Structure 1
Amino acid sequence: MPAISVIISTYNSVEWLKKTLWGYAVQDFLDFEIVVADDGSNSETRDTLQAFQNWFPAPIQHIWQEDDGFQKSRILNKAILACESDYILMSDGDCIPKSDFISTHLAYREEGYFLSGGYSKLPLSISKAITQKDIEQQWCFDIKWLKSQGLKSQFKNIKFKASGSFSSLLNYLTPTKATWNGHNSSGWKKDILAVNGFDERMQYGGQDRELGERLINSGIKSKQIRYSAICLHLDHPRGYKTPESLSKNANIRKKTREEKLTFTPYGIEQ
């Protein structure tokens, strides 16, 4: 059994998925598995993953379902069941992890908690510019390199310089709540199963947060690591983002919070 299972969601975004996987190939801790939660991609994604499996330093599972519109919650639930580890890290196929991404999650994991990480969102120009070598050499996590590519100065860039006790201090001081974020969160598989995974009624917009809210309602606490576990979020259009899905999901989350729900009947078990 691997020490940790890493779920990566994807849908017809091969170039970004490659960059993401290159990031996991150079982790400083390699006792993990990748579980790709594929929400109906075409054969290009399958072929790409088969090519990676020939040399990748960790096992890769490809969990696929037919394209039925945006059904990320459904494929994530299938991926959760497929995970062989008792601890799960979730991210996306457009998020490049820093080389200590997995080891940081493992260092902070604790019974009764889930971990809430952050990200640095890159503009499309830098997202396209990052090469395999930039990832392997970790230049893409160097603030000087990022600024040379056009990254604007902002306080959030401090995460590229923070480490050790300083990053821990920033985690403590940040006003951002420690929520379950689909791009960078981890928790115990038994805790996720206990709340029945993701609510499959929910499409784009807060389905990850709603899972975290049920975890908290069930007594699981959250721990902030947004300045310790770093990933780069690559830019892309979001044609699946609609006012209807956002409104529907907001109402589901409101009920979860107000009624302090700990279980969804629309999750893994139905």
Structure 2
Amino acid sequence: MKLSVIITTYNSEDWLRKVLIGYSVQTETDFELVIADDGSTEKTKQVIQSFSSKFKYPILHVWQEDNGFRKSEILNKAILKANSDYLLFTDGDCIPRNDFVATHLKHQQKGYFLSGGYFKLPLSLSNFISEDAIVEQNCFSIKWLVNNGLKANFKVSKLTKNKYFASFMNWITPTKKTFNGHNSSVFKEDLLAINGFNQDMHYGGLDREVGERLFNLGILAKQIRYEAICLHLHHERGYADPQKIAANLEIRRYNIKHNIIRIKNGIFAE
């Protein structure tokens, strides 16, 4: 297969269902889904099973016991289970446009990871989006979103379908090319070379830290935030802990300063 999509989730069945609908209508079908589940209940398993016939390959449900926020651990487990050499990382609250997978495959290149973005929706629109709106791709229409309550601003330009404008915006955007957990892709061998996600890190920058170690390895980044489009559904972040976020920042600063490539507590204990 061409690609494995690794989707993180935790007890967000309604959002995950919408995301899986988005992947069921991709223009590119030669990919597998790997659900990295950080301890959800049986309800999530039921949602995943309801989509079992929608894809070319079986959905892999990688689950671990609910023991607090352990996103790095479940991502590392999912990486090992993935069957493709190329991995696309996203979240269970990000609905992909129907060319999402194809766009990542189009831009993949040895020696690079791809840095995508998202367009964040308010809670009202997140709830309003129906299965039909995803299947028919109406929810990616700026006009449809505005007609259904979105307050238009410049950020909505991310949803443009003009490939020339998207390429131009990727070129001029001041946003850094970072490894984003909601929308980034990378070769599996490069992740293994840096020992995957840092299991010493809690919520707050753990994905960016992966990108920083990839840079230390010599891997570069390509900006595709205006071409690989996903809609970020609203949710609260009750697991955010300011002290742990600060500790994560210290880890990142140390790794950048000392050019750290492999961490000890990653996919493999070292």
TM-score class normalised by the smaller sequence: over 0.9
Does 1:83 pair with 2:82?
yes
Does 1:37 pair with 2:36?
yes
1:30-179 alignment runs, 5 A limit: 30-179=29-178
Aligned equivalent of 2:236: 237
Partners of 2:66 and 2:114 in 1: how far apart? 31
Aligned equivalent of 2:265: 266
Work out whether residues 26 and 98 of structure 2, in 8 Å CA contact, stay in contact via their aligned partners in 1. yes
Letter in 2 for 1:22: I
Work out whether residues 37 and 64 of structure 1, in 8 Å CA contact, stay in contact via their aligned partners in 2. yes
Letter in 2 for 1:50: Q
What do the CA deviations read for 1:74-98 (whole angstroms, capped 9, x no partner)?
0000000111000000000000000
Structure 2 residue matching 1:53: 3-state secondary structure: coil
Partners of 2:32 and 2:54 in 1: how far apart? 14
- Aligned-pair CA distance for 1:58: 3.8
Partners of 1:186 and 1:131 in 2: how far apart? 27
- Aligned-pair CA distance for 1:163: 2.4
- Aligned-pair CA distance for 1:13: 0.3
Partners of 1:118 and 1:42 in 2: how far apart? 29
Letter in 1 for 2:253: K
Aligned equivalent of 2:256: 257
Partners of 1:237 and 1:160 in 2: how far apart? 24
Work out whether residues 12 and 41 of structure 1, in 8 Å CA contact, stay in contact via their aligned partners in 2. yes
- Aligned-pair CA distance for 1:27: 0.1
Aligned equivalent of 1:224: 223
Partners of 1:55 and 1:251 in 2: how far apart? 43
TM-score norm. by structure 2 comes to: 0.98
Runs of 4+ in 1 over 3 A off after TM superposition: 54-58
1:175-214 alignment runs, 5 A limit: 175-214=174-213
Partners of 1:3 and 1:56 in 2: how far apart? 14
Partners of 1:92 and 1:166 in 2: how far apart? 26
Partners of 1:20 and 1:158 in 2: how far apart? 21
Partners of 1:264 and 1:158 in 2: how far apart? 38
Aligned equivalent of 2:247: 248
Partners of 1:251 and 1:77 in 2: how far apart? 22
Work out whether residues 32 and 59 of structure 1, in 8 Å CA contact, stay in contact via their aligned partners in 2. no
Structure 1 residue matching 2:51: 3-state secondary structure: helix
Work out whether residues 35 and 79 of structure 1, in 8 Å CA contact, stay in contact via their aligned partners in 2. yes
Aligned equivalent of 2:25: 26
Partners of 2:260 and 2:55 in 1: how far apart? 40
Letter in 2 for 1:93: G
Work out whether residues 29 and 55 of structure 2, in 8 Å CA contact, stay in contact via their aligned partners in 1. no
Identify unmatched segments of 5+ residues in structure 1: none
Partners of 2:133 and 2:233 in 1: how far apart? 14
- Aligned-pair CA distance for 1:166: 1.7
Letter in 2 for 1:24: Y
Structure 2 residue matching 1:6: 3-state secondary structure: strand
- Aligned-pair CA distance for 1:54: 3.3
Aligned equivalent of 1:9: 8
What do the CA deviations read for 1:140-174 (whole angstroms, capped 9, x no partner)?
00001100121112111112224222211110100
Partners of 2:107 and 2:227 in 1: how far apart? 10
Percentage of matched positions with identical amino acids: 55
Partners of 2:132 and 2:152 in 1: how far apart? 24
- Aligned-pair CA distance for 1:44: 0.7
Letter in 1 for 2:36: A
Partners of 1:20 and 1:69 in 2: how far apart? 24
What do the CA deviations read for 1:176-231 (whole angstroms, capped 9, x no partner)?
01100000000000001100000001110000000000000110000000000000
Partners of 1:51 and 1:159 in 2: how far apart? 31
What's the C-alpha RMSD, in Å, of the aligned pairs?
0.9
